[in-house]
Structure 1
Amino acid sequence: MKKLILSLVVAAFALLAGLANAESLRCNGHSAAEGDSRLSVLFKCGEPLLKDNFCAPVYYAQTRHPVPEPIASIFVPCQQVEEWLYDRGPGNLMATVRFRSGVVQSISYGRSPR
């Protein structure tokens, strides 16, 4: 019985730790998070300080190996990635919101753009 309770407690902590990895961005009393659309982030946080977009390489399914260039340019289009930079004011780190396919993929914090 003790082993069952202990394993349930460990499983609960593992689940909570996995949920804690998701970043969010607080702005104007709202919270933007992974999975939000560009329109939602724009509504919640307003215009970013800077915007950048680029074409990211496409990877083979379930691997970290990029599709080679001759094949990628003919058969596999690149994936558009957009990054928005928010200055959160004095004493706060800058926030970079990365969009893939029109939704927030990640939110990271740092002193300056990478």
Structure 2
Amino acid sequence: MPKPLILACVLLCWGMHASAQSLRCGRDFAQIGETKFVIESKCGAPAAKDSFCKPIGIAPSTVGRPPHVACDMVEEWTYKPGIGQFITILQFREGELREMKYGPRQ
């Protein structure tokens, strides 16, 4: 296979991977592992914020207290990048971006 064709295939696959989990913010991208402060400084304020308790198991009982559901607090930020683009939901745990999900196109 000719080298230019191999290079084109590699660049195409890399581009698909980069867009698979990304939110473009101006000339930069939001990246997994970044803090809420960094994301907000890159991307601005989200269109919406929400938080919820994601169950992670049953915590053992302690003296005088029955077992209870342990949870991981998750904060979700919703960005609407623009017409024709996917709504992007960023999930933060412990102040760091851990996951990106996509909604419908606008």
2:98 aligns with 105
TM-score by length of 1: 0.64
1:82 is matched by which residue type in structure 2?
Answer: E
- 1:71 counterpart (67, 71, 78): 67
CA RMSD in angstroms, aligned pairs only: 2.6
1:26 is matched by which residue type in structure 2?
Answer: R
Q: Which 5+ residue runs of structure 1 have no aligned equivalent?
A: 1-15, 59-65
Deviation at 1:88, TM superposition (A): 0.7
Contact kept? 1:37, 1:103, Cα under 8 Å: yes
Alignment length (residue pairs):
85
Q: Which 5+ residue runs of structure 2 have no aligned equivalent?
A: 1-12, 61-65
Deviation at 1:110, TM superposition (A): 1.4
1:1-114 to structure 2, matched below 5 A, reads: 20=17, 23-58=21-56, 66-67=57-58, 70-73=66-69, 76=70, 78-111=71-104
Identity level (%): 35
The 2-side partners of 1:95 and 1:42 are apart by: 14
2:3 aligns with none
Deviation at 1:54, TM superposition (A): 0.9
